[in-house]
Structure 1
Amino acid sequence: MNLQEKCSVLYFHQLCLSESGDGTYGALGWVEKGNQLTRFDVLSNIANLNGASVLDLGCGYGHLKKYLDERYYNITYTGIDFMPEFVKLAQQTYAEDPNALFIRRDFAEGELPLADYVFASGIFCYRSSDENYYKQLIERMYTAAKKGVGFNMLDIDKFPISGFLKAHGIASTKAFCESLSSNVVLKQGYLPEDFTVFMYK
C-alpha cells in the first residue's frame, strides 16, 4: 500500500470520526455494530484463548479486547493501529490494565510483535494497487504467530466493485494461505459478503 493509499484510509476514518464521534463503531467505518461483533465471534472461535497472547492489527479502540475479555480469562493483548485518535482513546480506556498494550504505528512496516494468535478484522478491505501487499501482510502475520492467525475479508463474488474498498477471491486466498500453513480453515455464512480464514501452526 503506497503513501497515497494510506492517506486515503486515514482521510476516510477522519471523516467517519467527524460524523460519528470518537469511540464509536461508526468512526471505525463499520456500518453496524452487530456486524463487527459477528466478525469478532467468528475470530474468537479460532481456539480456546484462555491464557493466550493476542496481537490485533488495525485494533481501533480495542473493541476486540473487550469482546475477548468477556469470553476468556487472562488474555495478554497488544493492539496496533496507525490512527492516532483511536490509539489515544484505547490507551486511556485501558490505562489500568497491565495486560493491554496499544501501539500507534504502521503494521505493514517493520517486524510484528510475537503472539500466540494474530488477528485482523477489517484491514484487508482497503484497496491497494500492489496485489502483493495483502499476501505479504498475511505472511508477516503468520510469521508473528506462535499458534495461529485469523483474519476476515470481503468476498469478491458477493461484494460490489468499489473504488476504495477491496474484495478478495476465496479460492485464491485459501490457496495462498495453504502455501504457508498445512492447516487452513475457511469460515463462511456468518455474513453475506464476508469470509474468515484461520491458519494454524
Structure 2
Amino acid sequence: MNSLIDSASIFRYHRDMIVLHGSQDSKALGWLDKKSQSVRFEALSTVADLRGCSMLDAGCGYGDLFGYLDQNFTDISYWGMEQIPELLEEAELRYGHNPRVTFLPGNFMYSKLPICGYTIACGSLSYHSADPDFVFKAIARLYENCKLGLGFNLLRSIPVNELIVAYNPQVILSYCRTLSAKCIMLDDYVEDDFTVFMYH
C-alpha cells in the first residue's frame, strides 16, 4: 500500500508542478502536454460503450476524464476520487456543477470506494511505492470493487525518475489474468504506455 512517505512525495510533486505551470495546465498533473493526456483518455474510453454507465475515476486529478467522456458518451454517472486537495478543488471548479458528477476526497487504496460499473485509473498507478507489490494490490482492489470492468494504464519505459515507475506489460497482463478470465491489452497508441482492461 502507499506509505505516508510515498503520499508526501506525490503531494509535493504536484504542488511544485502547480507552482511551475499553474492550475489550468495539464502539466501540473505530470502530463507532457494536453495531447499526451487526451490520447490516453481515448484509449481508456474503449473499455466499453459507457453510455448510461456509472464509473469511478481513481486518482482523478482535475476530473478531465469526465470532460472527455461526456463529449463521447451520454448520461455517464461519474465519481472522481482524489487525495490531493488542490487538484480536487480545481476538479470541483471545472465539473462539480454537473449533477452527474461527484468528487470524493481520499486515497483509493484506503478510502471507501463507491460501487460503479467501471473503474478507470489513468496514470494513478504509475507512482513509485515503498511496497514493491503496490501495483498488484491496487489492481486487485480496484478490480474487486467494480461490477463490470477495470481499465488502467501504466508506463513501459521512462527516463530515470524517482517518482514514476515503468512496468513490463506481459508481467502485468499475466497477473491480471489470475484475477479475470477476460483481459485485453492495448499497446499501440503511444510508444511508452500500455492499457489493460479486465472484465467480470
Q: Which amino acid aligns with 1:80?
A: M
**Structure 1 runs of 4+ with >6 Å offset:** none
Q: Which amino acid aligns with 1:182?
A: A
- Spell out, residue by residue over 1:146-193, the C-alpha distance to the aligned partner (whole angstroms, 9 max, x if none): 1100000011xx333422210111111001100000000000011111
Matched, 1:130 2:131: yes
- For the residue of structure 1 that corresponds to 2:147, the secondary structure is strand
Q: Which amino acid aligns with 1:123?
A: S
Which residue is equivalent to 1:119? 120
Shift of 1:59: 0.5
Q: Which amino acid aligns with 2:92?
A: Q
Which residue is equivalent to 2:52? 51
Structure 2: distance between partners of 1:137 and 1:172: 15
Matched, 1:177 2:191: no
- For the residue of structure 1 that corresponds to 2:153, the secondary structure is strand
Matches within 5 A, 1:1-201: 1-155=2-156, 158-201=157-200
CA contact (8 A) 1:40 1:67 kept: yes
Structure 1: distance between partners of 2:96 and 2:165: 34
CA contact (8 A) 1:112 1:140 kept: no
- For the residue of structure 1 that corresponds to 2:117, the secondary structure is strand
Alignment identity in percent?
Answer: 35
- For the residue of structure 1 that corresponds to 2:66, the secondary structure is helix
CA contact (8 A) 1:154 1:166 kept: yes
Shift of 1:6: 0.9
- Spell out, residue by residue over 1:93-128, the C-alpha distance to the aligned partner (whole angstroms, 9 max, x if none): 323311100111111103321111100011122111
Structure 1: distance between partners of 2:137 and 2:115: 17
Shift of 1:195: 0.5
Gaps of 5+ in 2: none
CA contact (8 A) 2:125 2:138 kept: no
Structure 1: distance between partners of 2:131 and 2:186: 26
CA contact (8 A) 2:21 2:28 kept: yes
Tell me the matched-pair count. 199
Q: Which amino acid aligns with 2:187?
A: Q
Structure 2: distance between partners of 1:162 and 1:61: 23
Structure number having the greater strand percentage: 1
Superposed CA RMSD:
1.1
CA contact (8 A) 1:23 1:61 kept: no
Gaps of 5+ in 1: none
